[in-house]
Chain A
Amino acid sequence: MMALLKKKAPDARKLEATAARLDALTIPQGGWAEPARRDAAARLRAQGLPQGRDEYWKFTRPDTLTQEDAPRAAVLEPGETPIFDAFDRLKIVFTDGVFDPEASDALALEHVEIERLATSRADIHWAKDLYGTLEARGQVPVDRPLAAFNTAFATDGLLIRVIGRAPKPIAIIYRHESETSDAILHHVVKVEEGGELTLLETGPAAARFNKCMEVDVADGAAFRHIRTQGRDHERRAATHIFGRLGAESVFKSFTLTMNGKLTRNECVLELTGDDAVAHVAGACVGDGDFHHDDTVFITHDAVNCESRQVFKKVLRNGAVGVFQGKILVQPGAQRTDGYQISQSLLLDEDSQFLAKPELEIYADDVACSHGSTSGAIDEEALFYLRARGLPKADATVYLTLAFLAEAVQEIDDEDLQAEIVGRIEAWLFRRRR
């Protein structure tokens, strides 16, 4: 497995193609972020944009993510109220990747500093040491060229610094209005010692969306992230989360993905302080022209840390699910507790789940487990529900919810969890047959 991840020198044609693509683009000028942007562009020129031949892109074709123009994607009329609508939260709206001041709340929240990347012009800025830094660290041992691309060319994003306990969640709401929009956003979150933040990210963002989020969670700090993607059908999205966890910190991220032609969510976490806890979970539901890829890389580099990866995919009608997940335990990272599960529920024989779970361990006092399964609805359970009078289609919905439960239960807040379950249930009931 190691050999597959060793970097090979990219071939010349790949680099030429990358150079041609980048030459046509302009790095946003000025401000403290420009050196990091130039560095990222240089790194990208050396590694090349991903191609289908790349080992890390074996299960997911990157061409529509890297081509010049975003493939057209129809705008979805949702027919339901936006998720988390009833929750008290600070709303920040981006429409097709462009900040929408009219729809957003004032960027002010107690114990939190919020600024926009595009308008942050101070010479000395706290985000200067972070922007592109965690992303660059995350390029080892595997190239993540779309993240480097993002650092270089992101047009906007949020810079969020949390110095205490945020009184309510910050909600980044993405709206999609143009069929050809190509959005690139880069957020930086720094949760200072003892700080706590819940970040919500929701909504279809653009026809094509490249998003990167770097999160630094200091000692004793907590960061919770709940994201929903969809229900737009034709989007293409490549997202990255790069996280660094300090001692006794908590990082929890959950993503619900509904629909989407192509979604690749990469999450790269580094546990650098003792007793840190990192949970990454995902539930996705896809029907038809749907390709969803979760690629996760968690590095344990401190003592007595816990990490959990829980990914569940419901696939139907030719939908494809991908999971590439890795736990790397560095020498000395004793008493590591690592858990990884990736499962798919295939609702018919046309759907496909491709999984590559990996463990790489260089410490001896470690408990790591991983499991990956593909299965159909459990006939015994189906009979049980039907014997109680539930029609087969309804019983299937309940068993699908049961299948997703372990992932959804990674959301600590019960109300947020219930809202997520409600959306999944609605999606399933709309498609029951």
Chain B
Amino acid sequence: MLEIKNLHVKLEEEDKVILRGVDLTVEAGKVHAIMGPNGSGKSTLSYVLSGRDGYEVTDGSATLLGQDILGMEPEERAAAGLFLAFQYPVEIPGVGNMTFLRSAVNAQRKARGEPEMSSTEFLKVIREKAKELEIDADMLKRPVNVGFSGGEKKRNEILQMAMLEPKMCILDETDSGLDVDAMKLVSDGVNALRDEGRGFLVITHYQRLLDHIQPDVVHIMSNGRIVKTGGPELALEVEKNGYADLKETA
């Protein structure tokens, strides 16, 4: 699904190297988690994969279903099946949540040469999915993320993910700012999307999200590299001992 090889990335504006050779393969149907201390490069990895400006890839490659994504515009990556759930979803006043989402769904379909979703069909699907995430009609009508609580914003991210039906989902610290109930809702939403054809990369500081979204593989990232890979037990180890030991083994 997602194949990252020897990825080296620096900031475009300054001589600061952030990723120093990341190798990672996420298979279809699998959930991979990346954990690591602040500044280890986790969020940068998610931004570089989804095409945010400000980074320069100096070496390595990243492919999604065999397609090189690093040369694509962000919207092309989205149409190719990549989704990034933002750590800080952006507020867009004056643009209705539903209007925005329908435009996004249809922009992706258009880019893939698929027919657009009719408004009736869209309404039916979004109502169903919103209900599962406890997103009410008012939240759908309101401007994108405006006046949403932290938990509502994250649920809205998952709703977008559910509507866009990406192949590869990257969740960037989706647990930050969530209380226990919201974490459960968000995790249920993510788990509902788990299937054979979809890969997940879950970026988190803490093990607690992984109680809800059970990963198949856990990676520890430190100083721009993946320093350790293991099963779910690795997350528990981090929870117990912190990152200090793992950094030393790097």
Chain A residues at the B interface, C-beta cutoff of 8 Å: 378-381, 383-392, 394-395, 398-399, 401-406, 408-409, 421
**Cβ contact within 8 Å between A379 and B93:** no
Q: Tell me which residues across on chain B come within 8 A of A398, comparing CB atoms.
A: 92, 95, 100, 103
Q: A388-B78, A401-B94 are in contact. List 11 more A-B contacts (CB 8 A).
A: A378-B90, A383-B53, A384-B92, A386-B78, A387-B84, A388-B101, A388-B164, A389-B164, A390-B103, A398-B95, A406-B93
Contacts A384-B89, A387-B84; A409 near B94 (Cβ below 8 A): yes
Partner of B104, one of A383, A388, A406, A408: A388
What does the 1/0 interface line of B98-117 toward A look like (CB < 8 Å)?
00110111011001000000
User: Do A389 and B92 touch (CB < 8 A)?
Assistant: no
Interchain CB contact under 8 A, A389 and B93: no
Counting CB contacts under 8 A, is B52 at the interface?
yes
Which of chain A's residues has its CB closest to B166's CB?
A389
B50 on interface, CB distance cutoff 8 Å: yes
Contacts of B84 in A (CB 8 A): 387
Q: Which residue of chain B has its CB nearest to the CB of A384?
A: B90
Q: Which of A394, A398, A406 has the most C-beta atoms of chain B within 10 angstroms of its own C-beta?
A: A398
CB of B53 to closest CB in A, whole Å: 6
User: Is B151 in contact with chain A by the CB < 8 A criterion?
Assistant: no
CB distance from A23 to the nearest CB of B (A): 51
Q: Once bound together, how far apart are the Cα atoms of A406 and B91, in whole Å? A: 13
Query: Is residue B86 within 8 Å, beta carbon to beta carbon, of the partner chain?
Result: yes
Q: Is B134's CB within 8 Å of the partner chain A?
A: no
Secondary structure at chain A's binding surface: helix, strand, loop or mixed?
helix
* 23 contacting pairs across A/B (C-beta < 8 A): A381-B90, A383-B51, A383-B74, A384-B89, A386-B74, A386-B78, A387-B75, A387-B78, A387-B86, A388-B101, A389-B78, A392-B73, A398-B95, A402-B92, A402-B93, A402-B94, A402-B95, A402-B143, A403-B94, A405-B93, A406-B94, A408-B94, A409-B94
Inter-chain contacts of B222 with A (CB < 8 A): none
Q: Which residues 58-88 of B have a CB within 8 angstroms of A?
A: 73-75, 77-79, 83-84, 86
Give min CB distance, A204 to chain B, whole Å: 26
Q: How far is the CB of A258 from chain B (nearest CB, A)?
A: 17
Contact across chains for B92 and A399 when beta carbons are under 8 A apart = yes
Q: Which of B73, B79, B90, B164 has the most CB of A within 10 A?
A: B90
**B164 engages A385 (CB within 8 Å):** no
Q: Does B44 contact A (CB under 8 A)?
A: no
Q: Is residue B160 contacting chain A, with contact meaning CB distance below 8 A?
A: yes
Tell whether A386 pairs with B92 under 8 Å between CB atoms, given A391-B107, A394-B103, A405-B143.
Answer: no
Q: Which of A392, A394, A405 lies in contact with B94, CB distance below 8 A?
A: A405
- Kindly state the separation between the CA atoms of A88 and B94 in the bound complex, as whole angstroms: 26
- Cα A150 to Cα B107 with chains together (Å): 51
Bound complex: CA of A379 vs CA of B51, how far in Å? Answer: 12
Task: Sort A-B residue pairs by CB-CB distance and give the 8 closest, nearest first.
Answer: A405-B94, A389-B78, A389-B108, A386-B74, A388-B104, A384-B90, A405-B93, A381-B90
How far apart are the CA atoms of A401 and B99 in the complex, in Å? 12
Bound together, the chains give a CA A137 to CA B151 distance in angstroms of: 54
Contact of A380 among B90, B101, B143 (CB under 8 A): B90
The answer to whether A392 and B95 touch across the interface, beta carbons within 8 angstroms, is: no
The complex places the Cα of A385 from the Cα of B89 at a distance, in Å, of 10
Bound-complex Cα distance A389 to B76 (A): 7
CB-CB nearest in chain B for A421: B94
Q: Which of B75, B83, B94 contacts A390 (CB 8 A)?
A: B75
Q: Which of B104, B143, B164 has the most CB of A within 10 A?
A: B104
The CA of A424 and the CA of B34, in the complex, are separated in Å by 44
